[in-house]
Amino acid sequence: MSASATASPIRPVHEDILNAAAHCFMERGYSATSIDDVARSLGATKGRIYHHYRSKADLFFDVFRHGMQMNFDVVTPIAESPRSTLEKLRDMTKTHCVAMIRTQHFQRCVWEGVELLQRGATTPEQREVLIELQAMRDNYAEIFRTVLEAAKREGIAEFESSSIALQLMFMCLNSPLFWYREREGQDASTIEHIASQCTVFALRGLGMKEELIADV
Amino acid sequence: MSASATASPIRPVHEDILNAAAHCFMERGYSATSIDDVARSLGATKGRIYHHYRSKADLFFDVFRHGMQMNFDVVTPIAESPRSTLEKLRDMTKTHCVAMIRTQHFQRCVWEGVELLQRGATTPEQREVLIELQAMRDNYAEIFRTVLEAAKREGIAEFESSSIALQLMFMCLNSPLFWYREREGQDASTIEHIASQCTVFALRGLGMKEELIADV
DNA sequence: TTGACAACATACCCGGTAGTATGTACCTCT
DNA sequence: AGAGGTACATACTACCGGGTATGTTGTCAA
């Protein structure tokens, strides 16, 4: 069973908490966010949160898991479709980028979570969870690596180290996480337009020819 | 007087503290790092740090300032040199990227500092400092924006929004901050090689032709 | 009707941490 | 030599925040 499939569906009762937590963690960061902050933004108290989650870390992990799951949900179908490498690469990158913008607060938590993963866990039971989350993240990156290396073999893309290329590609696609701000009058086409520029930048960076990128 | 010139030179006595603080802040993040952590990594106690800095925030701000100053020191000479736009752009981007790797712990603090800037300050006096740091950061980005737009006018580069292009370029050049790890046997040429790949990716992303990038 | 349980709120404990107040050794200048 | 200042260490306070223990209300099943 792949790590992507281990994530249980989110019970509706948890959805409000997850959303509030994601927003708080995004605004102040994990350690600067208190459980009281999350509760306050829910119009509730700590009791509600600790009734559903055993610890602050558990809550954060669930936000991470939820964020990653949303990424799998939109990207996996493309990766598993019987289309060409070129079409997959263009579609996956663009889709990922749009997802970053649409679910920004969750994805910011995923980003910070990756840093927490690198620092390691405190308790042994947390370490178990962290290993699972790490695997989830690695599996997601692996989907892209597979397509990237296929693209290189087919002469569509051209780069030296596929690991570095992968990192750089994700940096571009994740970029809106750090400067995009929701504002009034921004509809789906605005988001599409921003994602388009990021994706074009990334695909150019991967050494793809202009004519293969034109319609992204 | 530009914001870049307001930074006072670092007194030697502060250098050890700044280095230790940068390392701690990088490893655990700002709010998860205690003053005692920094002191312990210095083999000292809080007394030493509070003798030189009025608060934890002040210390962090000085790390930020120091990090930014190092960037100005290496990039400004290139930007002010009488060379062509193409040469400036290639040199500035590569130099910035190398600086990110070489002074990684300070630059990670700069990165986190930018997020703190967006969240705003608590006390009014901190806000004053934050405005100065914000200006410092903006001025630095402006150096690159100037060259970027010149490159666009000269037909060297091709992109839609210069703001987004600037962000994406920095994301690529800053990328090593998040995945580069110091290891044994990594000499200057290794760093050069990594920086080269990031810079090539960024310049490609900016729409530059292969023949203009070849020797980066 | 009532017992049991879910879904919270309230009240409390306690460890950690920013910041302060004070002590002390050393150094320098007169 | 002694007075004052620098550069710390030590000891202490106040508070915040994670976690827990317990109370309260609504719901549902028998």
Q: Which residues in chain A have their CB less than 8 angstroms from residue B167's CB?
A: 175, 178-179
Contact assignment for B201 to A29 by CB distance below 8 Å? no
What's the confidence (pLDDT) of residue A107?
A: 98
Closest CA to B32 of A130, A105, A33, A46: A33
Confidence of residue B3 (pLDDT cuts 50, 70, 90): very low
Give chain B's count of helices (H) and strands (E). Answer: 11, 0
Smallest Cβ–Cβ distance between A171 and the set B27, B30, B172 belongs to B172
Q: Which fold has domain A57-213?
A: Tetracycline Repressor; domain 2 (1.10.357)
For residue A145, how many other CB atoms are within 10 A of its CB? 16
Q: How far in angstroms lies nucleotide D1's C1' from the CA of residue B18?
A: 39
Amino acid identity, position A69: Q
| CB under 7 Å from strand C | A 13, 39, 44-48, 51; B 33-36, 46-47, 50, 54-57
Which single residue has its CA nearest the C1' atom of nucleotide C19? B55
Assign domain B54-213 to its CATH superfamily: Tetracycline Repressor, domain 2 (1.10.357.10)
Q: Which residues in chain B have their CB less than 8 angstroms from residue A201's CB?
A: 159, 165, 168, 205-206
Which residue, chain included where needed, has tokens 């994990």?
Answer: A30
Closest CA to B55 of B115, B132, B122, B6: B122
Whether B203 and B89 have beta carbons less than 8 Å apart is answered as yes
Q: Would you say residue B127 has pLDDT above 90?
A: no
Closest CA to A156 of A76, A215, A82, A84: A84
- Domain ranges within chain A, ordered by starting residue: 57-213
Contact assignment for B32 to A28 by CB distance below 8 Å? no
What's the confidence (pLDDT) of residue B103?
A: 97
What's the confidence (pLDDT) of residue A12?
A: 63
Tell me the mean pLDDT in the region A42-48.
97
What's the confidence (pLDDT) of residue B79?
A: 98
**pLDDT one-digit tens code per residue, A73-131:** 999 999 999 999 999 999 999 999 999 999 999 999 999 999 998 888 778 888 889 89
In chain C, which nucleotides are within 7 Å of a protein Cβ? 7-11, 16-23
What's the confidence (pLDDT) of residue B48?
A: 97
What's the confidence (pLDDT) of residue B1?
A: 40
Residue of B nearest to A32 (CA): B31
Q: How far in angstroms lies nucleotide D3's C1' from the CA of residue B59?
A: 33
What's the confidence (pLDDT) of residue B10?
A: 60
Q: Which residues contact A76 (CB under 8 A, 6 or more apart)?
A: A4, A143
Q: How far in angstroms lies nucleotide C2's C1' from the CA of residue A13?
A: 28
Contact assignment for A171 to B175 by CB distance below 8 Å? yes
Which single residue has its CA nearest the C1' atom of nucleotide D9? B47
Contact assignment for B171 to A167 by CB distance below 8 Å? no
- B-side interface with A, Cβ within 8 Å? 27-32, 115, 119, 159-161, 164-165, 167-168, 171-172, 174-175, 178-179, 194, 197-198, 201-202, 204-207
Among A203-212, B7-16, B162-171, the range scoring the smallest mean pLDDT is: B7-16
Smallest Cβ–Cβ distance between A172 and the set B168, B197, B207 belongs to B168
Highest mean pLDDT among A4-8, A18-22, B6-10, B126-130: A18-22
Contact assignment for B165 to A31 by CB distance below 8 Å? no
Work out the mean pLDDT of chain B and round it to a whole number: 93
Closest CA to B66 of B8, B26, B112: B8
**pLDDT one-digit tens code per residue, A59-77:** 999 999 999 999 999 999 9
Contact assignment for A198 to B27 by CB distance below 8 Å? no
What's the confidence (pLDDT) of residue A1?
A: 40
Smallest Cβ–Cβ distance between A167 and the set B27, B29, B179 belongs to B179
Confidence of residue B8 (pLDDT cuts 50, 70, 90): low
**pLDDT one-digit tens code per residue, B44-54:** 999 999 999 99
Distance between CA atoms of A52 and A66, rounded to whole angstroms? 15
**pLDDT one-digit tens code per residue, A157-177:** 999 999 999 999 999 999 999
Smallest Cβ–Cβ distance between B119 and the set A28, A194, A201 belongs to A28
What's the confidence (pLDDT) of residue B26?
A: 97
Contact assignment for B160 to A29 by CB distance below 8 Å? no
